[in-house]
Structure 1
Amino acid sequence: MYNDTFFHTLQHLKSTEAYRHFLEFSRSAGHFPLADFQNEKIEVWCSNDYLGMGQNQQVIDDFKASISRFGAGSGGSRNISGNTTAHVALEKRLADLYQRESALVFNNGYLANTESLSVLIGLFDNIKVYSDELNHRSIIEGLKKSKVEKYIFKHNDLKHLEIGLSLEPFERPKIIVFESIYSMDGDLAPVEEIVRLAKKYNALTFIDETHSFGVLGERGLGLVEALHVRDVDFIQGGFGKAIGTSGGFIVGDRDAVDCIRSLAPGFIFTTSLPPALLHATLTSINQVVASPERRNRLFQNVRHLKGALRRQNIDFIDAESHILPIIIPGLARIKAVSDQLLKQFKIYVQPINYPSVPRGQERFRVTVTPDHSIEQIERFAAALKNTLDLA
């Protein structure tokens, strides 16, 4: 009975094109974007390590030194022997950078969203949530945990958002939840306008800066910093993208963040991140904040990649961010293109399909980095053109 259930569930996933295939390879520090795959070198074109900080030598050295000093793990949850000086130092640094009263580190960005949102929403009677229709699954799960009234507004549609806000009394608690960069299309949220509406209709604001933290802004603090917006109530971010390590965080007012710290089960009952990892994370953040060099080189390469794709007559979504989606409809076709790129050209780019995107909107989510050379960019565009023409 049990095995039949497992078998039929997997068969259903495979029949509906929702079964996920994982490519196994090895990252090679100091050689990115090259990686080791079946005793060969391949180029990676879909990494979330946007700035290549995961192979930064100072980050690696500090990680090694911290492991030697503190050991491999934290030893417990934050309230039972796992609240190390590394955790406290990182949270203080984040709060200072954002000029907020408090910060809280989570084991990953997914938890930072689900736990923070579920607690914040649960604190208010009769609160109404306004959520962008393309918000990440972690946001959706956080909202599901509390059975409150939700208004899903059309993606980045300010008029639709304002219609929903205007239907409620000014005094009713409200929170608007949105992302800075939407990772499947690479487009940016109209942050200034959303904050203006929030003030007009007495709503809190919660922004997910996962894909912009480290990349946008004078110091790499995200879209809010880039736009000089100061009135977003809660900012969430992650370390697993541009910072090159792992973990997530939220910043905000002291009492609000303390409520999350005190009430979120996914925070309270989880072994805390290893202190060595957080020392490496702090090193990476400090390097990113101190110098715009790698951000500048990233966007130089983004511009060059867009030019190379145009010269090859390859259509792509020309968004403002560093994420470059290339729509290739049809699961069979995009998988064939991906397989051929890997087999013939040693280029790895992962197909994105349902349920991450709607059927018929399958795509490559291409991410060039500061470490891709001009020659590699030109070769990628030519290889993709060759493969698309044959698929």
Structure 2
Amino acid sequence: MTTGNFDLEHRLNEHRSANLMRNLEPAESIGARSRFLTRRTDEGAKFGSEEKIFASNNYLGLISDKRVRQAAEEAIRNVGSGTGASRLLTGDTDLHHTLEQEIAECKETEKVLVFSSGYAANVGTIAALEPDLVFSDELNHASIIDGCRLADAETVVYDHCNTGDLATKMSDATTNREPNERWLVITDTVFSMDGDIAPLKQLCDVAERYNAWIMADEAHATGLFGNGGGIIQREGLEDRIDVQVGTLSKALASQGGYVAGNKTLIKYLINNARSFMFSTGLAPPAVGAAYKALKIARNGNRTEQLWENVEHLRSGLTSAGYEVLGNSHILPVMIGDRKKALEIGRKVRKQGIVAPPIRPPTVPEGTSRIRITPMATHDKSDIETCIKAFRKAGEDTEVISA
């Protein structure tokens, strides 16, 4: 095979030299603790002897819940392991509609449409809406950025969570606005790398002033606020957010994405969102698992357990001398230097904590951090172990004072 002009090995070497190289690292299972692959042999995978405390987006710890697993198994027995086709052909099932009705009730909207992933929901929806001008928060998820590109829309990026900057940029854009031009404001509700929450009410105020629609991605909030809803439900803004998007792959312990809104929006997306139209329907076990997880999130005490762990961990890390960003269940521990972030990541891992460093280009240069996401199923000793590990690693690297 010739190298040609692509020269991928050279590009990889550039990643290595900049400490940006990433690798896959299989876990034995997904839960509050797990063992990680050490090697493969002819006899199969070999995992380390020590279980490590495992942080992930499995916020409610429901991926390993027996009830959720049983629901996935029942879906396979009753419906099948896959759908075999796009939902517009023969890949639609009553199970999909049952889940969509449950999400619609949580999100307090008329209808919901389930996609194969949250990424597909975002790119398909933005492109299908065909906005003329998009105003996008500078820290929005990559799927939103790619959706704007696919829509071939002019995109104006406003300063992160800065409604004043949004208002200024929307005001400036009115100078050349054509009649009936479609404007769309898009934001995450909980930002995954900073752990902060969008000022949704103020964003709605600005968007409505310029007759713009607003679209909010609840990927990191779905199932954690209100009655299984998100930040939109916590703030009571269901009637002011035109398009609600989210995922089933985090708190809801499954896979897939959704769009919630009025009947007209959903009917339009069924007929125009290419990532829905031309994708095989979400597999029944994923649908069944998400439905059961949402039921548990709405009727159990998992959210209370999660918030107790979040406050315990945030308080402990702050007391140790770290700057912990945000005001949500995502705890980004600011390190700054990427090499020190990598070193702290290695040191806490040796103490049984898996918390990968976040480096450029995911975050701006000089703002490398360790992103910690406690689960509802971590117990108090897990949280204390994490705090102690970070205190020691921070002192050893002189990121915090002894």
Q: SS state of the match for residue 369, structure 1?
A: coil
Cα drift, residue 181 of structure 1: 0.6
Contact between 1:183 and 1:323, CA under 8 Å: does it hold in 2? yes
CA shift, 1:381, in A, is 1.0
**1:33 is aligned to 2:32:** yes
User: Is residue 2:168 matched to residue 1:163?
Assistant: yes
Q: Tell me the distance in 2 between the aligned counterparts of 1:99 and 1:329.
A: 41
Name the amino acid aligned to 1:43: K
Counterpart of 2:332 in structure 1: which amino acid? P
Secondary structure, aligned partner of 1:188: coil
Q: CA deviation at 1:362?
A: 0.9
Following superposition of structure 1 onto structure 2, how do residues 1-391 of structure 1 map, counting pairs within 5 Å?
1-2=2-3, 5-27=7-29, 32-37=31-36, 38-120=47-129, 122=130, 127-167=132-172, 168=174, 169=177, 171-216=180-225, 218-229=226-237, 230-291=239-300, 293-317=301-325, 319-343=326-350, 345-391=351-397
**CA shift at 1:372, angstroms?**
1.3
**AA matched with 2:358:** I
- TM-score with structure 1 setting the length: 0.92
Q: Deviations 1:178-209 (Å, cap 9, x if unpaired)? A: 11111111111111111111222101000000
Partners of 1:321 and 1:329 lie apart in 2 by 21
Partners of 2:138 and 2:210 lie apart in 1 by 20
What's the CA shift for 1:231? 1.1
Distance in 2 (alpha carbons) for counterparts of 1:82 and 1:159: 46
Coordinate RMSD, CA, aligned: 1.7
Provide the C-alpha distance between the structure 2 equivalents of 1:312 and 1:45, rounded to a whole number of angstroms: 21
In 1, the alpha carbon distance for the partners of 2:282 and 2:323 equals 42
How many Å apart are 1:384 and its aligned residue? 1.1
Q: Secondary structure at the match of 1:375?
A: helix
Q: What secondary structure is seen at the aligned counterpart in 2 of 1:235?
A: strand
SS of 1:2's equivalent in the other structure is coil
How many positions carry a matched residue from both structures? 380
| Distance (whole Å) between structure 2 residues aligned to residue 235 and residue 329 of structure 1 | 34
Shift of 1:45: 4.3
Q: Quote the offset at 1:140 in angstroms.
A: 0.3
8 Å Cα contact 1:45/1:366 also seen in 2? no
Q: Secondary structure at the match of 1:298?
A: helix
Deviation at 1:340, TM superposition (A): 2.2
Q: What residue identity is the alignment partner of 2:21?
A: Y
Cα gap change, 1:265 to 1:173, in 2 (>3 Å): closer
CA–CA distance in 2 between the matches of 1:311 and 1:205?
A: 39
Normalising by structure 2, we get a TM-score of 0.90
Give unmatched runs, 5+ long, in structure 1: none
